[in-house]
Amino acid sequence: MSSDLAEFIRGLPKAELHIHIEGSLEPELIFALASRNGVQLAYPSVEALRAAYAFTNLQSFLDIYYAGASVLITEQDFFDMAWAYFERAHADSVIHAELFFDPQTHTERGIDIGVVIRGLKRACDAAEAKLGIRARLILCFLRHLSEDEAIATLNAAKPYLADIIGVGLDSSEVGHPPEKFARVFAMARELGLHVVAHAGEEGPPEYIWSALDVLQVERIDHGVRSLQDERLMQRLIASGMALTVCPLSNIKLCVFQQLGEHNLRRMLERGVRVTINSDDPAYFGGYIHQNYLETAAALELGRDQLIQLARNSLEAAFTSAAERRADLARLATYCTKA
């Protein structure tokens, strides 16, 4: 890869649509927060913790990810975590970010959902004011828990609905199909929230169908199993459905063995609205720029394809028509100058 192309990617105005903010907790910050809050960690050092980041599948990652999140106690902790992410995103020319957060990971430990949302919202406001990043929050339900627990979480979030743009569905996929959450997603849609869901990361194409048909999602998170089902591909292409693909995550969680085998380029060339995102950057080896960079190198993506990926992200973002126009104009200006 030429340094020119790397620089071009770095400056490309882009949206990040698939980032679990708890997955941006770097080991250094985990240790700092553990010390600040008097939380005992199972690892003796930053190095030992980082050395444990060798995953064989989604569950092996989730176990360590939920343990890492146990250091988050105060509103300031949530602010500090999100602010650290925004500084990195800004360096990667992210102009719009939609952050997933997992309230149940925290409320299960006795943390009030208001503490979580207020801390994250304050960081979003600071990102807009100080970095010029438009930042939004998407509340995710943990799919390994029951739908009743998801409904209780949505109800607990009601005082904060003005601070949330949508709901999502994450955690252990196989055995927890989207239709398990039909009622809570209907409630969320009724409240005027956007809806997305992880589907087709480890789960089969049938889960993508039910995310579309039962949950009526507006984007699919991951969705890399779509290529196994031609009728599904036709549906995605015809409807312009966006997929928030996370290439480095897919390698770390062994969804693909190597980046050169990833199907992102094939989906892009078929006309699927694919985007590139970081998922859990502290755990998977890089933030959004690193995902673009390594994917471009492994799949030999050219400038036009990289621009298409950035354009897809800006088009698939939950923005107003005026915001979308402004974002796309910014991309066009960049591309004529760069």
Contacting residues toward Zn ion, per CB under 5 A? 279
Give the three-state DSSP class for 318. Answer: coil
* Interaction of residue 23 with ligand HPA, rule CB under 6 A: yes
202 binds, among Zn ion, ligand HPA, none (CB under 5 to 8 A by kind): none
Which residue in the set 88, 134, 194, 198 belongs to the binding site for ligand HPA (CB under 6 A)?
198
Q: Which of residues 262-321 bind ligand HPA (CB under 6 A)?
A: 279-280
171 binds, among Zn ion, ligand HPA, none (CB under 5 to 8 A by kind): ligand HPA
Which residue in the set 105, 210, 249, 295 belongs to the binding site for ligand HPA (CB under 6 A)?
249
23 binds, among ligand HPA, Zn ion, none (CB under 5 to 8 A by kind): ligand HPA
Q: How far is CA 31 from CA 37, 42, 54, 61, 74, in A?
A: 10, 11, 19, 18, 15
Tell me the Cα Rg of the chain: 19
Q: Whose structure tokens read 């956007």?
A: 194
Helices (H), 145-181: 147-156
201 is annotated as an active-site residue = yes
Q: What's the min distance (Å) between Cβ of 71 and ligand HPA?
A: 16
Q: What's the min distance (Å) between Cβ of 97 and ligand HPA?
A: 16
Give the three-state DSSP class for 190. Answer: helix
* Interaction of residue 58 with ligand HPA, rule CB under 6 A: yes
Residue 99 phi/psi, 5-degree rounding, is -95, 125
Q: Quote the longest CA-to-CA distance of the chain.
A: 53
- Is the Cβ–Cβ distance between 259 and 235 less than 8 Å? no
User: Which of 124, 113, 44, 121 lies closest to 72 in space, CA to CA?
Assistant: 113
What residue number has its CB nearest to ligand HPA? Answer: 170
Number of H helices, E strands in the chain: 17, 8
Q: What's the min distance (Å) between Cβ of 249 and ligand HPA?
A: 5
201 binds, among ligand HPA, Zn ion, none (CB under 5 to 8 A by kind): ligand HPA
Which residue in the set 14, 20, 88, 273 belongs to the binding site for ligand HPA (CB under 6 A)?
20
Q: Whose structure tokens read 């929230």?
A: 193
CA 196/CA 6 separation, integer angstroms: 31
Catalytic, out of 16, 201, 202, 294: 201
User: Would you name the residues annotated as active-site residues?
Assistant: 201
Binding residues for ligand HPA, rule: CB under 6 A, are 20, 23, 58, 65, 170-171, 198, 201, 249, 279-280
